[in-house]
Chains A and B, each alone.
Chain A
Amino acid sequence: MKEKDILIDYKDHQVVLYAEKSDNTIGPVQTGSYVTSHYYNEFLSLMGSLERSLYEKLQKGEISPVFLYMTLEELTVSELALRVKIPLRRVKKHLTVKHFPAVKVDELRRYAEVFNIPVANFFQVIATRQDNKWRMGYSADMENKKPLTISQEETNNPYVVFTKPEINQP
């Protein structure tokens, strides 16, 4: 691959590729990511539709919150069990609506740490984006037109989160 063939102007996702330079050497070239620059919207739409369908199922009581986050984070049950240090059989139970109420609070905290969310998020669905810049899956939604952002801050108590609605700056 020649250097000139891989150069892509995409500042948001930079990668280093190796390519043949004009002096016949092969060296590193910092450039934009081809896949992100061409398929980012496609990726957002795929993940957005998955997120929406999972939240719908959650609200209908068809899946447990643990199942929702495990699927969104693309973890398998075995990997999740290893990460939360809970026996596989027990994790499998926590994925079902029937057995989710049997999850202990400490176990929820461990799940929350793996999913990097506050414990409170297992019991609520927040309709507005949590973060204008980074939060994905809602970018094409009309809901984003609302001038509200919900931000959540950790407190020193691992079981409590500070949820703060804010008016977006124009």
Chain B
Amino acid sequence: MVTTYIRRAYSSFVAHVFDIPARLLAFLLFLTLLFIPFAIQNTYYLRILILANVLAIFAVSWDFLVGRTGQISLGHAIFFGIGGYITALLSSSKFFGLPIFLTIPIAILAACIIALALGIPSLRVKGPYLALVTMSFPLILAALLKWYPLNHIFKGEFGIRGLPALVPRLDWMTIGQQRVGEYYVTLILLFAASVILYKIANSKIGLVFVSILDDELASKACGINVTKYKLMGFMISGLFGALAGCIQTHLLRFANPPMFALTLSFLPVIVTFLGGLGTIYGPIVGAYIYYILDSYVLRDWLPRFLKETVGVTLPPEFDFAKLLIFTLIVLILVIKLPRGIAKFTTDKLGDLEEARDLDERGPRIWKTYKKKEKTTSTGSEPTASS
């Protein structure tokens, strides 16, 4: 009884996952992510991957808004910052001191409501104008946080510090074990967030979102309340953006005004274009590539490599050049692979699958074709037309 059930589950798993190259790849990637902590002992590298998970959640929420509903937001840091600050205020022992499993949901819902409040006026403008309007929000809020009459609450540039950690370090834990715990918590949240967003994007509501992206006027002519759906998209995206902010706040155990910085608004853009716009899974790949390039290759490996082989020590100004290198990489990618790395790969795998299907389906067709070729080529030399 049980064995037949397991056998059936296994065969359906094989049919669903192993038969489709793209899914197989995704499954293997997921397995790799699952077992990475066992392979990496260095806590610094593990920390990079944890932050990559957080950025991936943030970028996926941005991709949902821009790639699926077509509302360009260049101020996504506002949700990140709001989520972070609200959970910081609520959980800080100086204010409310609530446990984080309460404060994070409250912060997420509050960010959702703020997304609605910001969306109502700003979604009246479209395209680049919307991008500019949204870009201004985090800057205004960052200025407000640094305003000195409010310093006793937000502590200005210093930020709110000493917050409870996402994974508390128990007595018996080493720092490495705490990192492993953080890694799995962020990985699970990333997995949940991306699956939920992917499901929404491919549901029947997701169809309406894409229709607004394609042609707003035609959606209206179909009787769709475009404003309502846009606000819905804004709120869903804000919710997951705030989730990323909350996680990062409790990972780093502080919230400060740079959470609203422009760089944080542009990071999901870079990451999404690396992975592929509108795919939902692309930004995850993009976030990992970004963090590996940024924190491992450019900060760690390249200086060491140059020092050991060429004997050149990189000056501290190299940090600026790093930004330049990144811009260059993104530029090349946008021109050469406008669909992004992840989308490009899955498309190639899709082609592969089609070719294989043809191979399986049509041996008979192949044989008859070959026979024809033989019969025509027996008499004289085969020509290109025959």
Real binding pair: no
Q: Which residues of A contact B (CB under 8 A)?
A: none
Q: Which residues of B contact A (CB under 8 A)?
A: none
